[in-house]
Structure 1
Amino acid sequence: MAQQESVETTRVIHHSMGETKITGTPQRIVTLFQGATDTAVALGVIPVGVVESWVNKPVYPYLRDALKNTDIVGLETQPNLERLVALKPDLIIASKFRHETLYQQLSAIAPVIFLEEIFDFKQTLELMGLALNQEQTADDLLADWNRRTEHFRQVLSSRDNMDWPIEVSLLNFRADHLRLLSRNSFSGLILSELGFEHSSFADTNGWIYKKLISKEALPTVNADTFFVFLRSENPAVDENYDNWRNHPLWKTLKASRSGQIYKVDEIVWSLSGGIIGANMILDDLFRIYDVQPLTE
């Protein structure tokens, strides 16, 4: 859990690689994973440097306006340290999962905050709120999220015509295989918080996704509802999706029989990783399930 040990002058931020002292409000931050970039923008802090997006490069479309003057500092898996040095950052936000081996090198450039989990957007929001001296903004964003999720749960669980909770599978189609995402993925964590259940195979703490090659594995994804995301930049993905859903086993699955299959944006549901992306997933779910938004 993040802690703040002083209010105005120097804050000691406890994170997954130790502790970092930050004085004042950082002005030149660099974010080294997608969820941190999303979170910085949500907090009203525009990074001077970010890593390249996984798809729709160099930056996801929903962040392009905010990041139009931001430099790209390499890949999330391999940030360019020379570019980092040139930007003269006063804070770097990194991921233990991606950047643990770079700890000493990054720390020599600027103070660094390491996040334990790249998909835990609430932890990212809390820790970055502390580090960036934006605690109140982070608290407000989280409070708004909690109000919206509670409203969604109450509406769906009270519907007489709905068998709640709904069992779901998150299906990410690639050009040559299918990935079943678990409850530990970004959208998996969000759906769990909302009260959805995961198909038994995906209800695990052991992995983020399973790569399925053979269509004979289709029974493992069986669930009431499918949320399907396709990598639209590649036409081969659409062809692969058609091949899977035209297989006889696909037609036996509960979601296929009931028609409860929803295509959603892969960037938002799988790659965004922050509070903005989380709210966009919630927007999709409000629309899919015809939940009226909260009124002020």
Structure 2
Amino acid sequence: MLTRRTILLSTLAGLALGSAQGALAGEITHDLGVTQVPDAPQRVVVLEYSFIDALASVGMVPVGIADDNKAERVMGVYGEVLGEGWTSVGTRKTPSLEVIASLQPDLIIADTTRHSAAYGTLGQIAPTIVLDSLGGDYHASVAQMQLIGEAIGKPEEMAARIAAHKATMADYAAKIAPHAAGVAAQFGVVNATGLYLHSPVSYNGSLLEMLGFSSKMTPGEGGVYETNYVETTLEQLSELDPDLLILGEYTDPSKTDEWAGEPLWQALTAVQSDQVHYVTANNWSRLRGMVAAELTAADILQIVGGDDDGDS
């Protein structure tokens, strides 16, 4: 039986795809196959924050963004570029297909972990490419930027931005490395119910490694939440015992506030050496991308006591 929702989505999808197919030009190979994309898409919908980062890096504003219905999560970092010329399509986990279709996009950029099951439907709305933002590491994220640059018809602009980014990160690495040598660093996010450590294969874990830190954490096996973002007890954290513990706190108070009086917490090397540092969870954990990496590196430079003006 055709429901009202199905009829609406099918109608909008037909309109959207019809507008997009008029200017198909190139092929983009992505995680779920090969997609014909327009020569220079103008109406792009992005379903993960790192894809906003990519478009904003070359001054392009998506028409639709999966912002988790919380615009401040993206506007606080990308607002100067984005302005008000975009529409929320809902959450990253379950974006609204109807809203996406109503925007008549000519390109959709989706996430492998979150959106593979919806790939077929998204492809009926507009040409769709699928990239691993949630499960990918820092190096994969930078490589994705170039692919996105090709998909949106701005390969030269994106290549220039990537080159500038790599130079910026190399400068940060040179300043941070002397402070990172021999230091086991660990990043995690904490809320009222638990601590979730980002493993060495995660975006932030690989970024810390690139900046010269080591890690004591071994990734688990399974899906992204077993390998990248691992729920961790105080006992497990005690066994890991990093030298430097960096936490993004989503709630105040959080689980670590509950642990503060526990002997295991007090015995942590990072606690005893005053090397537990709190950072902006949104920037570190959600965003992922070149702008995000540069913000993260700037935070790390402050944490280790370096000088962002080169006088360290």
Q: TM-score, normalised by structure 1?
A: 0.85
**Residue number in structure 2 paired with 1:251:** 266
Contact 1:183 1:202 in 2 (8 A): yes
**Residue number in structure 2 paired with 1:5:** none
Higher deviation after alignment, 185-194 or 268-277: 185-194
Alignment-mate amino acid for residue 165 of structure 2:
W
Higher deviation after alignment, 270-279 or 282-291: 282-291
Q: Would you say 1:105 and 2:124 are equivalent positions?
A: no
Alignment-mate amino acid for residue 178 of structure 1:
L
Contact 1:169 1:198 in 2 (8 A): yes
Q: Would you say 1:71 and 2:106 are equivalent positions?
A: no
Q: Distance in 1 between matches of 2:154 and 2:182?
A: 36
**Residue number in structure 2 paired with 1:268:** 283
Q: Of residues 188, 193, 198 in structure 1, which corresponds to 2:215?
A: 198
**Residue number in structure 2 paired with 1:139:** 159
3-state SS of 1:235 partner: coil
**Residue number in structure 2 paired with 1:210:** 230
Structure 1 residue 67, shift from structure 2 partner: 4.4
Q: Of residues 176, 180, 184 in structure 2, which corresponds to 1:167?
A: 184
**Residue number in structure 2 paired with 1:4:** none
| Pair 202,291 (structure 1): closer, same or farther in 2 beyond 3 Å | farther
Matches within 5 A, 1:170-189: 170-189=187-206
Q: Of residues 220, 224, 230 in structure 1, which corresponds to 2:249?
A: 230
Contact 1:28 1:91 in 2 (8 A): yes
Contact 1:129 1:135 in 2 (8 A): yes
**Residue number in structure 2 paired with 1:3:** none
Q: Percent identity?
A: 25
Q: Would you say 1:30 and 2:45 are equivalent positions?
A: yes
Q: Distance in 1 between matches of 2:220 and 2:117?
A: 30
Higher deviation after alignment, 180-189 or 86-95: 180-189
Q: Of residues 30, 38, 42 in structure 2, which corresponds to 1:15?
A: 30
| Aligned CA-pair RMSD | 2.5
Higher deviation after alignment, 173-182 or 114-123: 114-123
1:100-130 CA-to-partner distances (Å, cap 9, x unmatched) read: 1111111111111110343442132111111
**Residue number in structure 1 paired with 2:65:** 50
Give the aligned length.
Answer: 279
Q: TM-score, normalised by structure 2?
A: 0.81
| Pair 180,54 (structure 1): closer, same or farther in 2 beyond 3 Å | farther
Structure 1 residue 197, shift from structure 2 partner: 1.1
**Residue number in structure 2 paired with 1:292:** 308
Contact 1:183 1:204 in 2 (8 A): no
Unaligned ranges ≥5, structure 2: 1-23
Unaligned ranges ≥5, structure 1: 1-8
Contact 1:226 1:260 in 2 (8 A): yes
Alignment-mate amino acid for residue 99 of structure 1:
H
Structure 1 residue 140, shift from structure 2 partner: 1.8
Alignment-mate amino acid for residue 98 of structure 1:
R
3-state SS of 2:122 partner: helix
Higher deviation after alignment, 25-34 or 188-197: 188-197
